[in-house]
């Protein structure tokens, strides 16, 4: 059993597809969370406060702008 040979060589496998899938899932999670948060904020401000529709839209747009600024991919950053 100790002499069994395999075709597996550690670190030799191409992982570009796994990396692409991971980046896609993380992107969907990140932007989907921002969209969900903006929707919840918009509905909450519109229906549960006296700010009305316009106040809700302004709040949601501010949240989306801040989220896009903070969640965008940074240039030169590995993480």
The predicted-structure confidence for 24-76, as pLDDT tens digits, reads as follows: 999 999 999 999 999 999 999 999 999 999 999 999 999 999 999 999 988 87
CB 10 within 8 A of CB 20: no
Look at residue 1 and tell me whether its pLDDT is greater than 60: no
Task: Assess contact for 46 and 53: CB atoms under 8 A.
Answer: yes
Say if CB 67 and CB 34 are below 8 A apart. yes
């Amino acid at each position: 059993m100790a002499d069994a040979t395999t075709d597996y060589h550690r670190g030799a496998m191409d992982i570009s597809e796994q990396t692409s899938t991971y980046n896609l899932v993380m992107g969907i999670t990140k932007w989907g969370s921002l969209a969900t948060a903006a929707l919840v904020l918009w509905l909450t401000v519109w229906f549960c406060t006296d700010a009305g529709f316009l106040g809700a839209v302004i709040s949601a747009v501010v949240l989306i702008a801040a989220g896009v600024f903070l969640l965008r991919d940074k240039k030169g950053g590995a993480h």
